[in-house]
Amino acid sequence: MVKTGYTDRSKALQAAMHYLVDEYTWKSEDKADGAGAIVMLYNNHIYNQDKKSVHVQHKYADIISASIHLHLANDNCLETIMVKGNIKRIRDLAKQISENRGIKSLKVNFVSVV
């Protein structure tokens, strides 16, 4: 428990329960709201990834609060899109972005809004 950063059992159980609720909500709810971040790694010179990502993001302006683009070494970019709103819309956005061939990695960190 100490290795994971929790000083007492109650905090560890509380964090585990929050994680369980968030995962269940993410996988099974369509009408609930939530918030989170979509983090993706891609090569910005392959398949016009920058333009494709921006085009997709414009269709989801209602749930995107902000985005950050970071240039890494060797033409790789890390982009984080902060989202808030309907879970189904967030899932659809992540799915549409992940379908671009230039994406090397895409992860969604989601929290249910209680």
Q: What is the pLDDT of residues 46-94, one digit of tens each?
A: 766 767 788 899 999 999 999 999 999 888 899 999 999 999 999 999 9
- pLDDT above 60 (res 105): yes
Contact 80, 90 (CB under 8 A): no
Task: Please state the domain extents for the chain.
Answer: 30-112
Q: Are 85 and 65 in contact (CB under 8 A)?
A: no
Instruction: Identify the CATH homologous superfamily for domain 30-112.
Output: ACT-like. Chain A, domain 2 (3.30.70.1150)
81 neighbors 36 (Cβ within 8 angstroms):
no
User: What does the DSSP assignment read for 24-90?
Assistant: HHHHH-SS-EEEEEEEEEEETTSTTHHHHHHHHHHTTTTTEEEEEEEE-STTEEEEEEEEEEEHHHH
Q: What is the pLDDT of residues 8-43, one digit of tens each?
A: 888 888 888 887 787 777 777 788 899 999 999 988
pTM over 0.75: yes
